[in-house]
């Protein structure tokens, strides 16, 4: 793939943030946000962003419908990617055996046992950019991951980003558990389910971290 693009990460960061807001809007479409006027819609989207939280407690035995899992992946695919390279693959895992294999090898993903399913976001080496830009796949797949988390919140579901890449041992665990081809690199595992309500959003606003120039 040819390279002749932004020299710094600043542009891609801007694009990522803008894309997440846009995807928030997309996730709401079909619902109240689309019927609302601009100000109202912004309120709904911003509230969804503020309410998003890592959900680690799920209602056991309550299954997320396949159509809803597909909606989540669709939200992921709507995220921006460097040069529109779309270097992702999504594995939707719902068999108890596969969830168990992931949970057994991932020390910080024990909530998988309660979750209805998990979405594993992977980079695909065949679509990654050449040269210095190759690592943009991490940002691309991260943007997709955040879109999935925001969409889950909007849909009344709970989800949590559990990190895999760049921890080599975890990458190997996921590779083995899902028999991934060598070209697919797992970035994260996102357990998804119906939240019990135990997890709440945190207020992280810090005015002194904003630098006005
Ligand atoms: C790159 C990354 C890796 C993470 N890995 C884990 C993980 O392995 N297990 C987990 O429970 N949470 C994980 N998290 C979730 C963070 O702990 C969580 O986002 C943070 O504590 C802030 O809480 P909030 O998501 O509720 O705002 C990860 C988040 C990111 C962005």
Strands 117-124 and 88-93: antiparallel
Residue nearest to atom 3 of ligand 1 (CA): 163
Residue ranges around ligand 1 (CB below 6 Å): 53-54, 56, 108-109, 160-163, 202
pLDDT reading at 25 higher than 60: no
How many A from CA of 14 to the centre of ligand 1?
22
Atom of ligand 1 nearest to the CA of 145: 31
Give CA–CA dist 57/99, Å, rounded.
Answer: 15
Top CATH class of 9-197 equals: alpha beta
Atom of ligand 1 nearest to the CA of 106: 8
C-alpha of 146 from chain center: 4
Q: In 3-state terms, what secondary structure has residue 196?
A: coil
pLDDT at 31: 54
Please return the burial class of 118, using the count of CB atoms within 10 Å of its CB with bins 0-12, 13-18 and 19+: buried
Atom of ligand 1 nearest to the CA of 56: 11
> In DSSP terms, which residues pair with 89 in a beta bridge?
122
Report, as an integer, the average pLDDT of 112-133: 98
Contact indicator for 163, 97 with CB cutoff of 8 Å: no
How many A from CA of 161 to the centre of ligand 1?
5
Residue 9: φ, ψ to 5°? -80, -10
Give CA–CA dist 37/40, Å, rounded.
Answer: 5
C-alpha gyration radius of the chain: 17
For a mutational test of ligand 1's pocket, the pick from 51, 52, 54, 110, i.e. the residue with the most ligand atoms closer than 8 A to its C-beta, is: 54
Domain boundaries, the chain: 9-197
pLDDT tens string 53-99: 999 999 999 999 999 999 999 999 999 999 999 999 999 999 999 99
In sequence order, the 6+-apart residues with CB closer than 8 A to the CB of 16 are: 79, 80, 139, 142, 143
C-alpha of 80 from chain center: 12
- Least Cα distance to 114 among 45, 189, 183, 55 occurs for 55
Q: How many helices (H) and strands (E) does the chain have?
A: 7, 5
pTM, entire model: 0.87
In percent, the amount of the chain with pLDDT more than 70 equals: 84
């Amino acid at each position: 793939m040819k390279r002749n693009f932004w020299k710094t990460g600043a542009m891609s960061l801007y694009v990522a943030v803008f894309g997440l807001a846009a995807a928030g809007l997309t996730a709401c479409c079909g619902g109240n946000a689309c019927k609302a006027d601009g100000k109202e819609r912004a309120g709904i989207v911003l509230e969804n962003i503020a309410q998003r939280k890592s959900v680690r407690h799920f209602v056991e035995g309550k299954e997320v419908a396949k159509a809803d899992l597909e909606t989540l992946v669709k939200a992921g695919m709507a995220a921006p990617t460097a040069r529109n390279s779309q270097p992702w693959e999504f594995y939707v895992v719902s068999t108890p055996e596969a969830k168990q294999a992931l949970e057994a090898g991932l020390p910080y993903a024990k909530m998988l046992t309660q979750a209805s399913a998990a979405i594993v976001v992977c980079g695909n080496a065949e679509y990654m950019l050449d040269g210095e830009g190759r690592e943009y796949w991490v940002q691309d797949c991260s943007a997709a991951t955040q879109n999935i988390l925001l969409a889950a919140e909007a849909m009344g579901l709970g989800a949590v980003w559990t990190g895999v890449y760049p921890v080599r041992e975890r990458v190997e665990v996921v590779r083995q558990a899902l028999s991934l081809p060598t070209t697919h690199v797992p970035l994260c595992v996102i357990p998804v389910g119906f939240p019990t309500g135990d997890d709440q959003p945190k207020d992280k606003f810090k005015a002194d971290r904003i630098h006005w120039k």
